[in-house]
Structure 1
Amino acid sequence: MCGIIGYTPTRTDHHSNRDILNVLMDGLSDLEYRGYDSAGVAIANASVSVYKRNGELSELEEMVPNGPIDGYAGIGHTRWSTHGPPSDENAHPHTDCDGSVAVVHNGIIENYRVLRDELEAAGHEFDSETDTEVIPHLIETSLEQGADIETAFRRAIDRLNGSFAVAAVFSGSEAVYATRNQSPLVLGIGDDGYHLASDVPAFLEYTDQVVYLQDDQFAKLSPAGVEISDKRGTVVDMPVKTVEWDPEEAGKSGYDHYMLKEINEQPRAIRNCIRGRTDEMAGTVSIDELDGIDRPKRIHLVSCGTSYHASLYAARLFRAGGIPATAFYASEYDAGAVPIDGDTLVIGVTQSGETADTLGALRDANRRGAETLAVTNVVGSSASRETDHVMYIRAGPEISVAATKTFASQQVALAMLSSTLTDECSREFVEGLRALPDQIQSILDQSRATEIADVYANSDAYFVIGRGYSAPVALEGALKMKEITYKHAEGFPGGELKHGPLALVTERTPVIAIVTGESNAEEMIGNMKEVEAREAPVIAVTDSPDVVENYADHILRIPQTAWQFTPILANVQLQLLAYWTANQLGRSIDKPRNLAKSVTVK
């Protein structure tokens, strides 16, 4: 959630801020997927020019100047409201009393109320309800006391409690100053300038050379280069890494929505996930980066949202292989209340590697002596740096807020991880893995989800049921439906239908039943009959159409495969059904209301 962008050109001569402004606006556009309700930019020259507006980025585009104005450096921000509702006043950047300092900020400043009271008592005037606004006023106080810019910036940051990423520009200065604590910031090293952002796609069109800033590190971006230092001011050398994502991967490539593009990218994403990790002839899976992990006594999986559903699926696989495993909501994980020691492997499943609740759970596990592993998509993310081991899912950039290809890649990665830790691998398993991309492509080519969505788009609610390994996918299918259609949707194990949810079933509540070879088909058919008796339409997602055709109004077919992978195939049909339903309803599919792609606050 929230997006920061910053830029300073390498040129030291005067130049039009239209160049800087274009870079900032392009970056904000590339960060729209993170979720936001207002946007703004600040350009530093002899003074600081600030433009910010409540609403979509298009609203901001209407107010920024068209003519050339000299500028040295700039910052921008897309805000997702926490302190104070969406408004022009609460939009970032925020300034000090005389407008010579502009600041953008992600995260939560926990002690802002105390700081604000102190500053107001000293005569500072505030224009917003945000926690962020205390930062420029703290900087202003130090500048008035004679500190130089960098010292004033550091002193202000030292007063803050909480999680944050902060960037600032100053009148008359060519530099952007930035720091982070438990909120992501990445630097981009380009030929024509230096960038900073919350995420790589914000500047990927300009450079693929990046530095991942770590907690309590400070960065100064100026025409002379990038200087990184620690909390004490000591300059540190940080490795420059090459991002292997193609800039075109972050575009729509002709699709109407990123979500549809990313659903269709799943065959390639899974090929990338398994590449170099399987030997079909030997029937083995080998994950080189995890060679140092021994079979643990127990496994805890910590995650949120879609990643939690992938964790539920994985926990079943680990238990089937003889390792006790439990999936926890990361926000509810209390390592002090469950058995945890050096024989416990705590796996954090997080697409971004920056999810605040998941990072908190992993840090708690580290403190208690557990071995930790991150299963993530982002190289250099906080989760990848702070755990003992990391396994990358290799899905490539995912822009749509609703996760699709990363969920499939998480399932595949976790299935491979399970096979290695439990020694439950087989030739059938590896063959199933290798067949997945082509099988998913066949679903994409032949799915009837579009026509079914047309029939049921105006339903009152949707229920998704499954058993065994398909139960977590039922939860995920319902989550996708509610995220992007804004319709009520519930997912639960088929056996729970009669323990409450059946009271809500009517002829206007379609029931989507996942009936696959690993499910108990007889029991699932029983559930289908229960809802059919209440006149609810039934949509079956199945690899056995002959078994269910007499009990379903519609069938969405999936190929037969190894039992571990039928949930992955079933999920593709559920993704398509949710997408086409939302499309029929005219929803904002890539940026659903009130939601953010990367949730970096607790």
Structure 2
Amino acid sequence: MSTTPKPDGLVRLEAEMARQFQDASRSFEANQANAQAAARHIQETKRLHLVGMGASHWLNRTVEPLYRTHGIDATAVLASELLRAPLPGPATELLVSQSGASGEIVRYLDRRESDTEAFGLTLNASSPLGQRTTSLIGEGGPEQAFAATRSLAITLALHAAILKHLGSDPADFLSVLTAPPETESKGVPEQLAAARILILSSRGHLQGVVETAGLTFMELARRPALAIEGGQLRHGPLEVLSTETAIVLARPAGADADTVATVAQIALKAGLTPIVIDCSGAPPIEGARTVALPRLRGLAAAAIVLATLQRIFIDTATLLVPDIGTPLRSTKVTDGE
């Protein structure tokens, strides 16, 4: 009995995902010296600009509040925005680009102010970013698949290395990389594939995670997705909820478990079945479709929620797109603006 071969784009995606946590763990260990140097400079300036584009920017949004817990005035900003409206220094800059050659990052390297110290986070040591800054380099080489997967786990690990030297305990994060918990998402891809629009929402640092995942969904499923913070979602955008909408909520541990549950209740009253990626440790929300995860916080929660959404969205896209992972209008590395 013959089987249809997997699309090349899907093969590349799954090859990256198969080693993403192993490479992330190796990246954490291999970059301690430069991570310590970056942390020392961040502690001196007390101001941090997290600069990136695409998925790198959304991951910067994920870690932004984690740096703030250490008393750092951290701001995630698009490189394209910074080119047009520079932030005043002095500050430490973390320039994040998996390829190290994004057009906006290269242009910014050419134009950046001299009163800021720049460190790079990249998977490509020979790239402009890797060559022109003190860089933390991800293990395993540049990513080959179109949509980011492995590079995201590695970037989280590089941030974890810096945060360790600012005082964070990386134990739970490293445990997730070593032994990721199993998840069950039966029926979720089919529910998402039946919807025309996807809304994603969370609170705190997991908002950056759903923003990252929303980009993955649009790249692979070729359907619109709006990732909007839970408070902002309640200031008008709830009006888009309909039977043609799917809503995915990432439910964090702590007080915000209840605020996410409130949004889920609103969705239920609108006739939807919200999909809840739940690492809160709280009882499931009645009526919602729950993907249960262990109770985790910080980067550990970010890593497993992101990996769970990646798998779900790839499975969804395979139901919708025959050539999943092969871009029609985009490129892996965007050159110029």
TM-score (norm 2): 0.90
Aligned partner of 1:436: which letter? V
Q: CA deviation at 1:489?
A: 0.8
Aligned partner of 2:248: which letter? I
Query: Distance between the aligned counterparts of 1:303 and 1:256, measured in 2?
Result: 26
Establish whether residue 409 from structure 1 lines up as the match of residue 154 from structure 2. Answer: yes
SS in 2 for 1:313: helix
Residues 1:274 and 1:584: Cα distance change in structure 2 (over 3 Å): same
Aligned partner of 1:576: which letter? R
Query: Distance between the aligned counterparts of 1:256 and 1:589, measured in 2?
Result: 6
CA contact 1:260–1:579 (8 Å) conserved in 2? no
**Corresponding position of 1:572:** 307
SS in 1 for 2:170: helix
Q: CA deviation at 1:395?
A: 4.5
Q: How does 1:106-505 map to 2 (within 5 A)?
A: 256-276=10-30, 286-288=32-34, 290-291=36-37, 293-294=40-41, 295=43, 296-334=45-83, 337-341=86-90, 344-365=91-112, 367-387=113-133, 389-420=134-165, 423-425=166-168, 429-440=169-180, 442-443=181-182, 446-448=183-185, 451-505=187-241
Residue-by-residue CA offset, 1:385-438 (whole Å, 9 max, x unaligned): 112x11112243421110011112112211321332xx323xxx2321320223
Query: Distance between the aligned counterparts of 2:148 and 2:208, measured in 1?
Result: 15
Residue-by-residue CA offset, 1:6-54 (whole Å, 9 max, x unaligned): xxxxxxxxxxxxxxxxxxxxxxxxxxxxxxxxxxxxxxxxxxxxxxxxx
Give the one of 248, 253, 270 matched to 1:512. 248
Q: CA deviation at 1:519?
A: 5.7
SS in 2 for 1:569: helix
Q: CA deviation at 1:329?
A: 0.8
CA contact 1:301–1:328 (8 Å) conserved in 2? yes
Aligned partner of 1:369: which letter? D
**Corresponding position of 1:195:** none
Q: CA deviation at 1:545?
A: 6.1
Aligned positions, number: 328
**Corresponding position of 1:523:** 259
Residue-by-residue CA offset, 1:444-479 (whole Å, 9 max, x unaligned): xx4325x32123312111111110011111111211
Aligned partner of 2:146: which letter? V
SS in 2 for 1:510: strand
Residues 1:524 and 1:551: Cα distance change in structure 2 (over 3 Å): farther
SS in 2 for 1:537: coil
Question: Which one has a bigger Cα radius of gyration?
Answer: 1
Query: Distance between the aligned counterparts of 2:277 and 2:327, measured in 1?
Result: 26
Query: Distance between the aligned counterparts of 1:463 and 1:435, measured in 2?
Result: 30
Residue-by-residue CA offset, 1:156-182 (whole Å, 9 max, x unaligned): xxxxxxxxxxxxxxxxxxxxxxxxxxx
Aligned partner of 1:332: which letter? E
SS in 1 for 2:328: coil
Q: CA deviation at 1:521?
A: 1.1
Higher relative CO (Cα under 8 Å, sequence separation at least 6) belongs to 2
Aligned partner of 2:208: which letter? P
Query: Distance between the aligned counterparts of 1:290 and 1:384, measured in 2?
Result: 17
Query: Distance between the aligned counterparts of 1:491 and 1:478, measured in 2?
Result: 6
Q: CA deviation at 1:350?
A: 0.1
Residue-by-residue CA offset, 1:54-95 (whole Å, 9 max, x unaligned): xxxxxxxxxxxxxxxxxxxxxxxxxxxxxxxxxxxxxxxxxx
Query: Distance between the aligned counterparts of 1:309 and 1:521, measured in 2?
Result: 21
CA contact 2:22–2:178 (8 Å) conserved in 1? no
Identity %: 20
Query: Distance between the aligned counterparts of 1:348 and 1:544, measured in 2?
Result: 32
CA contact 1:290–1:391 (8 Å) conserved in 2? no
Structure 1: 5+ residue runs without aligned partners? 1-251, 278-285
SS in 1 for 2:118: strand
Aligned partner of 2:27: which letter? C
Establish whether residue 539 from structure 1 lines up as the match of residue 268 from structure 2. Answer: no
Residues 1:476 and 1:276: Cα distance change in structure 2 (over 3 Å): closer
Query: Distance between the aligned counterparts of 1:596 and 1:336, measured in 2?
Result: 26
* Aligned-CA RMSD value: 2.3
Q: CA deviation at 1:577?
A: 1.4
Q: Which has the higher helix share?
A: 2
